[in-house]
Structures are given as structure tokens and as C-alpha cells.
Amino acid sequence: MSLDLSSYRSIQTNLFVKMVVPGYQTLTFSDYHKEYDIDGTTYQGLGELLSITDTTDELRASVKDITIAISGIPSGNVAEILDNKIKGSSITITRGFFNPDTGALLAISGNPAGKFYGVVSNYDISDDLTMGAGEGSITITLTATSVVELLNNKISGRRTNAADFPNGDMDRVSALAKSNFNFGAPV
């Protein structure tokens, strides 16, 4: 689904992230400057403290990873991050299109639009301390893998262990393995 933005002179875009951490909770945050509610879900406005790598618009779904960095995390929350299974958490990123003058979400079909669906494949926690000033900040960087990549890596098929075929069907495999089949040939 494509959004028709041709009638707008200028727009403001913001990204909204929903991260479901198994056994913990659903985290919702955005690069919007304040809390914002979309379809009954409140997204915490992180503003400049949130950065998400750019993506390219492609006709087909992409297998590229995306990186989400959250800065300014209080040091007391690091243990909470480490105590939960962040790897494997599902991530959904949507893009909202806003009127830059009013700050209101544009009333067009499909807004906000889906941008990325994936799973956290890795994370990194780093701290930046200013010696002597007693100041510092902690940044968590999440690397998310697209669901397209996960589907590409999926292995499917049928097992061919003899124990899986109790009727003796596997006994015919060795005879068929060296056979030459001429499909489509006259009988």
C-alpha cells in the first residue's frame, strides 16, 4: 500500500518502535519529541536519544539488518536490560507522517505505515564517561534482522530416517537412487 502525499507541501516523519521482550514486557518508544498514542498504544517520546539507521525503499522486501540506538539510559536500568532476553525480541517499526505546523498525524489511509518487521539478533551496551565531571551516558544498540532474512534461513523439508517410515518405504530408496528416469518419453 502506498501513501498519497502529493497534496502536502511539507511533512514531518517520525518512527515508532514496538519491541516485545519475551517474559518481560512490550516496550514502545519513538523519535517523536513527546509521548504519542497510536491505536491505543502509547509510545514514549525519546526524541534525539533514539537513532535508527536509514533504510532504502525497495520494490521487494529486503533482507538488510537495521540498527536502533537508544542513548541516555540511566545506569540503574542496565541490570534490568541484562536480566531479560533481549535477543529474539520481536521489533516492529512504523513511520508516521505528520503536519509540521500542527504536529497532528495526517489523516490519510495507511498512516502510520509499516517500515520494518524483524527480531533482535544482537545488542551492545556502551558507556561514555566524562572523567572529572562525574557525568556519563549509557547507550544500547540493537541489531534487528528482517523477517525476510529469517525466512530465507529457514530449513524445511521431510526427514528421511528409516525409523520415520515404519511401513518399509525406505527399503526402496537404495534401488531408486541409481535408477534413470526418462520422464516424458513415449511408453
Residue-range domain boundaries for the chain = 12-152
Higher pLDDT, residue 178 or 70? 70
Q: Taking 90 as the threshold, does the pLDDT of residue 151 lie above it? A: no
pLDDT of residue 15: 94
Residue in 139, 7, 157, 22 with CA at minimum distance from that of residue 71:
139
Q: Taking 80 as the threshold, does the pLDDT of residue 176 lie above it? A: no
Q: Taking 80 as the threshold, does the pLDDT of residue 141 lie above it? A: yes
Confidence class for position 83, pLDDT limits 50, 70, 90? confident
pLDDT of residue 54: 81
Q: Taking 90 as the threshold, does the pLDDT of residue 138 lie above it? A: no
State the pairing for strand pair 135-146/66-73.
Answer: antiparallel
